[in-house]
Amino acid sequence: MSAFAGIPFAGIPSDAFRFYADLEQNNNRDWWLEHKPVYDAAVKEPLTQLLAELEPRFGPAKLFRPNRDVRFSPDKSPYKTAQGAFAAVDEGVGFYIQLSADGLLIGGGCHTHTPAQLARFRGAVDDPASGEALQEIVQKVEAAGFAVEGERLKTVPRGFEKDHPRAELLKHKSLTAGVNVGQPGWLAGPGAVEEVAQRWEDLRPLVEWEGRYAAP
């Protein structure tokens, strides 16, 4: 457990967003080492505290490493320009949060599917009961202000009718939903816990559907 986890959450300071705006212009090891105390105090510490307070309702979350894996990438920038965290309810399925220069992004769903998971997902979308349930969930999530996203095919996958009543859902190879709330005033205080919790609760039906039908 992080040394920060037992400290009450007091908010995410504006320095967190300024840090990532500056990092985008100075993505190198020397700059990072010089500014790591800012990362620890403005990003890592408050996010760890926030996630600790959300844990009783959503389970433990893992902060992603700030370092990029550059082994197979033409972009050799060593650091990610966002700090993400994921509270998994099943493998690959759960709630997501991310800090960047653009503000706070709150999301959830399943970001990647194995071939076996994708087959299960499509079968559940095809099934009238579970498929219509997902369609209703997606409509409610969109009405709540989230963008429904994920990797998609351009056409309905083979084996399904082109005019399938849930054709757009069948095109998904992954299914997530998220909203970037920017830098609202509530983010700088302890009320951010409930603000994030309310949005994750909006996404809970989607996360639970995917946990049931798309988890390994």
Whether 166 is covered by a domain: the verdict is: yes
Rounded mean pLDDT of the chain?
A: 94
Dump strand ranges (E) for 91-187: 93-100, 103-110, 147-149, 175-182
Query: Residue 105 is part of a domain; what is its CATH number?
Result: 3.30.930.20
Whether 3 is covered by a domain: the verdict is: no
Whether 50 is covered by a domain: the verdict is: yes
Cβ contact 174:150 at 8 Å: yes
Instruction: Give me the sheet containing 62-63, strands edge to edge.
Output: 62-63, 82-90, 93-100, 103-110, 175-182, 147-149
19-23, 113-117, 131-135, 181-185: segment of lowest average pLDDT: 113-117
Q: Which of 197, 180, 195, 148 is nearest to 17 (CA)?
A: 180
Amino acid letter, 152 = R
Whether 37 shows a pLDDT value over 70: the answer reads yes
Whether 94 is covered by a domain: the verdict is: yes
Query: In the chain, pLDDT over 70 holds for what percent of residues?
Result: 97
Whether 6 is covered by a domain: the verdict is: no
Whether 10 is covered by a domain: the verdict is: no
Residues 48-86: tens digit of each pLDDT: 999 999 999 999 999 999 999 888 888 889 999 999 999
Whether 201 is covered by a domain: the verdict is: yes
Count of domains for the chain: 1
Whether 115 is covered by a domain: the verdict is: yes
* pLDDT at residue 5, as a whole number: 53
Q: Tell me, what DSSP letter sits at residue 157? A: P
Range of the domain at 183: 15-213
Long-range contacts of 38-42 (CB under 8 A, 24+ apart): 39/66, 41/15, 42/12, 42/13, 42/15, 42/16
CA dist 188 and 42 (Å) reads 11
pTM for the model stands at 0.92
